[in-house]
Amino acid sequence: MTRTIARPLSQPTAAGGAAVDRATRGVRSPWEPVSADTMCTQMHGGPQTARVTGTWAGRKVDASFDRSNGCEIARWDSLTPALPEVR
């Protein structure tokens, strides 16, 4: 099953905007993919996928998200509620 979320990041909910703001503090951008040399737990977090496109802080964003391993699950969860919460 594919769920399409069509919510522009230029008009996020207050909670979603705050989550993205928290996730963008620090060195690593939340829009960057997990590095290929990162060791991640081999756990499957579900079939959900998301794609975020647009502009954030003056930079173009085209980021894909899934829940295929522990790193990707953590990346997704760091942007909840901008991305939907998965239980």
DSSP state of 76: H
Question: Which carries the bigger pLDDT value, residue 81 or residue 71?
Answer: 71
Please state, in angstroms and rounded to a whole number, the distance separating the CA atoms of residues 7 and 26: 25
Determine, yes or no, domain membership for 75: yes
Give 19-78 pLDDT, tens digit per residue.
666 666 665 677 889 999 999 999 999 999 999 998 877 889 899 999 999 999 999 998
pTM of the model: 0.69
Question: For residue 53, which phi and psi values (nearest 5 degrees)?
Answer: -130, 155
Determine, yes or no, domain membership for 4: no
Please state, in angstroms and rounded to a whole number, the distance separating the CA atoms of residues 10 and 31: 15
Determine, yes or no, domain membership for 66: yes
Determine, yes or no, domain membership for 43: no
Number of domains in the chain: 1
Residue 19 near residue 81, CB atoms below 8 Å: yes
Determine, yes or no, domain membership for 17: no
Over residues 6-31, mean pLDDT:
63
Is it the case that residue 8 has pLDDT exceeding 60? no
Determine, yes or no, domain membership for 64: yes
Query: 65 lies in which domain range?
Result: 48-87
Determine, yes or no, domain membership for 74: yes
Please state, in angstroms and rounded to a whole number, the distance separating the CA atoms of residues 53 and 32: 12
Please state, in angstroms and rounded to a whole number, the distance separating the CA atoms of residues 33 and 71: 10
Q: Using 50, 70 and 90 to split pLDDT, how confident is the model at 13?
A: low
